[in-house]
Chain A
Amino acid sequence: MMDCFGLESLDKIDRIDRKSSSSWKSDISLPQPASSDTERWERAAESTATSNYFEGFQARGVSAGARSATRARLINLVRDFYCNGYPSTSGHLWKIDRQTLEAAFVFLQLLPEQIDFPKVIPDGEGGLVMQWDQRQSPALLVVDRWKLHGVGNAGTDQAEYLEPVTLMPSHIPPAVLAIVA
């Protein structure tokens, strides 16, 4: 379904994204697979833009076009974590699994309009961390292949650790929606 080349549907999103968001500059918008480990490392080390530098996470008062553009940026970033990896603070290159990439893509497509987009970062074990930290009830989700590990009220005494659930292509599990909504 997804690879670093030949992603017609995603490339279409890329084009829309570049048109609608000329202010966003990043060296990771169009990832291509690196030809060697050295090149892979160097390229990843240069990818300093993460979703922490994105704007437009808010769901309310945002046009559908702007929301699509933010989604496209996130998907491109996640795809870059799969294709080229992301250097950890201890010097390792972290990549996400292919199934994690696919599940994250589905999740971001299914995320209802009234819910903000998360910040994303690899977890170092093939999974992807999604964070909703700018809110009263912070939530996080680890996408580990097709399994979702959710935490409500993350970082607080009221933290709630959900049983891992499988993401289906048709919908986001209600328990997960409840903590990220």
Chain B
Amino acid sequence: MCFDVEFIPDEDSISRQIAAPRQYDLKTKALIANELFLIRREEGESVNWRKYATLDQVHNAGCHRQALRIAKGHTPGTYVGALTVLVGATRRLQTKNGFRFDIVHFPTDDQSHAEIQYLRVDRAEIEKGEWTDLKGRLATLFASQLLEPHVCPRA
């Protein structure tokens, strides 16, 4: 199915699926901030636009992803829940030199699929340290939210 691409307003929310043990320490029940967004400058990072996904649907997608990894024979991450932030708060993050992110609707077979993408400023290339600082700000924003927990049903 083909979905139209829409502009995502600042007042809307996006959710990030979180899996243990990479992004969440099951022992201490704490988020691991520096593992929340392992992204490169040229690629986007997936999130769910809550306009098209209820929290239950986000959780279902997280469980589905976990099941796919098991089916492929990869060591599964255990889906533990989602973190939700406002789009505007994400867009307002920026480094001292003005580098920042945009949230772009990127529907696949899932209409809620969106990406956090690095926004170039005047074609300038962000330097590695500043890029890492920007990613850290993104992780801090998400890690400051309470995890909306979920336990996937056993297959």
| Chain A residues packing against B (C-beta within 8 Å) | 41-42, 45-46, 48, 50, 52-53, 88-90, 92, 94, 119, 121-125, 127, 129, 131, 133, 140-142, 144, 149-151, 154-155, 157, 159, 161-162, 164
Query: Is the contact region of chain B dominated by helix, strand, or loop, or is it mixed?
Result: loop
**CB within 8 A of A127: which of B34, B95, B128, B140?**
B128
In the assembled complex, the Cα of A159 lies from the Cα of B136 at a distance in Å of: 12
Query: B90 an interface residue at 8 Å Cβ cutoff?
Result: no
Report B104 CB to chain A, min CB distance, Å: 15
Chain B residues closer than 8 Å to A155, beta-carbon distance: 133, 136-137, 140
Contact A121 B129 (CB under 8 A): no
Closest to B140 in A: A155
Among B73, B132, B140, max chain A CB count under 10 A is at B132
Against A, the Cβ 8 Å flags (1 = close, 0 = not) of B39-73 are 11101011000000000000000000000000001
Contact B133 A90 (CB under 8 A): no
Interface residue count on the B side (C-beta < 8 Å):
32
Among A41, A50, A88, A141, max chain B CB count under 10 A is at A88
Chain B residues closer than 8 Å to A159, beta-carbon distance: 95-96, 133
Query: B10 an interface residue at 8 Å Cβ cutoff?
Result: no
In the assembled complex, the Cα of A142 lies from the Cα of B132 at a distance in Å of: 8
Report B140 CB to chain A, min CB distance, Å: 6
Pairs A–B under 8 Å by Cβ, sample size 30: A42-B75, A45-B75, A46-B75, A50-B22, A50-B32, A52-B34, A52-B35, A53-B25, A88-B39, A88-B40, A90-B38, A90-B45, A119-B34, A121-B34, A122-B38, A124-B39, A125-B40, A125-B41, A129-B132, A131-B34, A140-B129, A140-B132, A142-B129, A154-B132, A155-B137, A161-B95, A161-B96, A161-B130, A161-B133, A164-B127
Contact B45 A42 (CB under 8 A): no
In the assembled complex, the Cα of A154 lies from the Cα of B136 at a distance in Å of: 8
Against A, the Cβ 8 Å flags (1 = close, 0 = not) of B104-136 are 000000000000000000000001111011001
**CB within 8 A of B129: which of A52, A89, A133, A141?**
A141
Chain B residues closer than 8 Å to A162, beta-carbon distance: 129
| Chain B residues packing against A (C-beta within 8 Å) | 21-23, 25, 32-41, 43, 45-46, 73-75, 95-97, 127-130, 132-133, 136-137, 140
Chain A residues closer than 8 Å to B96, beta-carbon distance: 157, 159, 161
Contact B133 A50 (CB under 8 A): no
Contact A52 B40 (CB under 8 A): no
Contact A90 B39 (CB under 8 A): yes
Report B32 CB to chain A, min CB distance, Å: 5
In the assembled complex, the Cα of A121 lies from the Cα of B37 at a distance in Å of: 11
Chain A residues closer than 8 Å to B132, beta-carbon distance: 123, 129, 140, 142, 149, 151, 154
